[in-house]
Structure 1
Amino acid sequence: MSRLLLPLQQHPRTADQPADSLLHALKRLPRRVQQVFLLNRLDQLPFAEIAARLGLPLLAIERHLNQALQTTREPGDALASVAIQWYVRLQSPEVTASERIDFRRWLDAAPEHLHAFHQTELRWRSLQAPARLLGQDGWYRQGRAALSLGGCSVTIALGLAALAALGLWA
């Protein structure tokens, strides 16, 4: 998502959300969504490369990025929600010419649409600093197995504890 579709002014963050609330919103996301978001935002990997690296379909990458951006918008802002969906979809390698035409029609239908899309681009830019904090130790660059290992080790430990409690492990 490194290329932008409209010219933008340089703003460090949107006025409606400071960086700490954006970081908090990102931390509440599922770990896989965070990973996809960070690979795209920090490492600027395209959808296809993220999908190949994580063994996920392109649609899942799109859905995860959409989820990440949706958590940063104001609740109840339906226009922002639509703008975010367009923003993410337009970055997908699976976007069709017909969808691009539909987007252009949506954008031209009302000045509010252009403003909402512009705000989405500003919001995307404002996520750079919180993303750096969220991914500062590089955890997100680990593959699928490394992320899953944490849950597996907890399950194994609980299983061994249960066996020990029943006296079957000694």
Structure 2
Amino acid sequence: MTRLLPLEQRLHSHTDEDALLHRLRRLPRRVQQVFLLSRLEQLPFAAIAERLDLSVHAVERHMHQALQGTQARSDSFASAAGHWYMRLQNPQVSASERIDFRRWLDAADEHLQAFHQTELHWRRLLAPARQLGQDGWYRQGQAALSLGGCSIAVGLGLAALLAMAYWV
């Protein structure tokens, strides 16, 4: 294994953060919003669900989508670990589900390694999340539409008006 010098480590870390930020930006806007409310505001799933008029299950799904969508590789172990990581964040997780998780974790060394990698990945997402949410757009509740989506709607509206004017 090659050993990186401190400057090389910082450059490598910066490149990793840029890649994670790029992956976060590629996620659907609502997924980004749920993720940022959880990660930056540290809101529990129930509070996010109430704020955005979603079910707690939908919040959990969005969080899992954010986690999976930002990972460089996705295999069955990583996917299962991501599912368990988000499920355990949900206050509605039952005691029997916690037992099932423990059984899954103990079933194979690969499960433990995948879960550990998921935890490390989650920590690495904080800096890119801060960049993505720096202007606070995600706090706007229901109004989390992308500018691109608004531009398309405005463009279609103008096209419809022009078409109506043409036919009149």
Taking the aligned partners of 1:121 and 1:111, their CA distance within structure 2 comes to 16
Partner-residue secondary structure (3-state), 1:167: helix
The match for 2:102 among 97, 104, 114 is: 104
Change (3 A) 1:159 1:169: farther
Taking the aligned partners of 1:149 and 1:128, their CA distance within structure 2 comes to 22
Taking the aligned partners of 2:146 and 2:70, their CA distance within structure 1 comes to 29
Query: What is the TM-score when the length of structure 1 is the normalising length?
Result: 0.82
2:144 aligned residue: 147
Partner-residue secondary structure (3-state), 2:38: helix
In structure 2, what residue type is equivalent to 1:26? L
- Which is worse superposed, 32-41 or 64-73? 64-73
Query: What is the TM-score when the length of structure 2 is the normalising length?
Result: 0.83
RMSD of aligned residue pairs (Cα, Å)? 2.4
In structure 1, what residue type is equivalent to 2:144? L
Unaligned runs of at least 5 residues, structure 1 = 1-11
2:133 aligned residue: 135
Q: How many residues align?
A: 155
Change (3 A) 1:169 1:46: farther
Structure with more helix by fraction: 2
1:9 aligned residue: none
Deviation at 1:111, TM superposition (A): 1.7
2:26 aligned residue: 28
- Identity, in percent, stands at 66
Taking the aligned partners of 1:149 and 1:121, their CA distance within structure 2 comes to 29
Is 2:33–2:144's contact at 8 Å kept on the other side of the alignment?
no
Change (3 A) 1:27 1:98: same
Taking the aligned partners of 2:138 and 2:167, their CA distance within structure 1 comes to 36
